Amino acid sequence: MTPAARNRLLVLATVLVVGGALLALVLTSFTDNLVYFQTPTEILASAQRFDGRKVRIGGMVRNGSLVRTAATTEMRFVVTDDRANITVYHRGLPPSLFREGQGVIVEGVWRAGAAEFIADTILAKHSEDYVPVEMSEQGIAKSRESLLKTLR
């Protein structure tokens, strides 16, 4: 083997080793960090399958369901897709777009059979082309529909 050929082999081997290590790093951390997005109906239908996994649940904050515990940052509310409901507990400040009747995504570890879903993150989703005040009534109804569709 000439020195040039040996050298080329050495470079190639290093590239392969480093590249392989990177690939392994990507693959191992990728599957661990996939977060499945579910509607309340879906997650209740396969409650056991997601037990102990990190999930995102998307739906509407049901009107009248938001309860804040006085003098703490604790809150409870119901996420609904009009068919199934999930009570969510969260401690901390929700994003400013969060409110009743709006779309929301809550993220946390799913415990099958638990009374409430403990969300460690709340993402409020504002309807894409946000609605002007005038056309609120029907507009909001419509955007809610499209929101539920995009949330799917």
Partner 1 sequence: MLNSVMPIEVIEWGHFAAVMALLLAAVQSLTAAWGGWYQQVVWVDVSRRAVWAVWLLLSVAMASLVVAFLQHDFSVRYVAEHSSRALPLFYLATALWGGHEGSLLLWAWLLALFAALAVWRHGSLRSPTLPLPSLAALLAILGAVVVGFLLLILFLSSPFQRLWPPPTDGRDLNPLLQDPGMVFHPPFLYLGYVGFAVPYALAMATLLTGRLYDDWVVTCRRWILFAWAMLTTGIVFGAYWAYYELGWGGYWAWDPVENASFMPWLTSTALLHSMMVQQRRHIFRTWNLFLIITTFALALLGTFLVRSGVLSSVHAFATDPGRGVYLLVFMAVVLLGSFGILTLRSDRLQATVRLPSMVCRESTFLFNNLFFVAAAATVLLGTLYPLAIETLSDSKVSVGAPYFNKVFVPIMLAVLLLMGLGPSIPWRHASLAQLRRYFLIPALVAIGVVPLIWWGLAIHNGYGVIAAAIVLFVVMSHGGDIMRAYWRSTDRQFMRLVLRNKRRYGGLLTHFGLLILVSGLVGSGLFKQERDLVMRPGDTTHIGAWQLTFEAIGQRSQHNWQADEGRFSAQRSGGGASVTLQPQKRIYQRSPQPTTEAAIYSSWREDLYLVLGDPAGDDGAWTIRIYLNPLVVWIWWGAGVMILGVGLSLLDQPRQRLVEN
Contact between 17 and partner 1 by CB under 8 A: the answer reads no
**7/63 with CB nearer partner 1:** 7
| Minimum gap (Å) between residue 23 Cβ and partner 1 | 8
> Are 124 and 94 within 8 A, CB to CB?
yes
- The enclosing H or E element of 138 equals helix 136-151
Smallest distance from the beta carbon of 8 to partner 1, in angstroms? 7
- Does position 96 bind partner 1 by CB under 8 A? yes
CB of 86 to partner 1, least distance (A): 17
Handedness of CA 64, 65, 70, 72 (dihedral sign): negative
Establish if 25 lies at the interface with partner 1 (CB under 8 A).
Answer: yes
Residue type, 1: M
Instruction: By CB under 8 A, name the one of 67, 95, 120, 145 that touches partner 1.
Output: 95
Residue 51 identity (one-letter amino acid): D
Binding mask 72-91 for partner 1 (x = CB under 8 A): xx-----------------x
